Amino acid sequence: MKDSQDKKLGERIRRLLEESDISQRELARRLNVGPNQVSRWVLGNVSPSYAVLNSILKVCRKPQMGQWLLTGKDSMSHGIKPTPEKEEDAMLKDDLLIAQKKIISLQDEIICLKDLLLKGERGKRKPLVEQKVK
């Protein structure tokens, strides 16, 4: 009976990894275990401890799937639905790119202002910061 449960748990681990786009090798690296150990879990030869199962859920960014991983019952038992996490990741990457472009733009502006200030000192012009705005 235990072997059957281990096999089912291994299948759920495999599905979780597939749905999260995480390879067994990557999971092993992140959990600091050997790839053979992960393979034994997925094949159902050995069951990981509860602490390791919790770590797997964290690595896969699916802590809400603990019930399903342990029992096979819950939201994933009716078919895996795509999670919005991938969309959120894409939006975060877009936001990061926009922020990086703004930073580069601001750096360019700072360099230009610095050059103008230096020219103002050399040509005995008043620096821009001292000019009065009407």
pLDDT tens readout for residues 3-50: 677 788 889 999 999 989 999 999 999 999 999 999 999 998 988 888
91 Cα distance to chain centroid: 12
The closest alpha carbon to 81, from 96, 70, 66, 65, belongs to 65
pLDDT tens readout for residues 86-116: 666 767 777 777 877 788 878 878 887 887 8
Domain ranges of the chain: 2-78, 85-130
Torsion of CA 72, 42, 49, 84, to 10 degrees: -60
Give the CATH number of domain 2-78; options: 1.10.260.40, 3.40.1230.10, 1.10.3720.10, 1.10.287.890.
1.10.260.40
pLDDT tens readout for residues 77-88: 444 454 455 666
Under 8 Å CB-to-CB from 90, ≥6 apart: which residues? none
Instruction: Give the model's confidence band at 127: pLDDT under 50 very low, under 70 low, under 90 confident, else very high.
Output: low
Instruction: Give the model's confidence band at 131: pLDDT under 50 very low, under 70 low, under 90 confident, else very high.
Output: low
Residues in the chain: 134
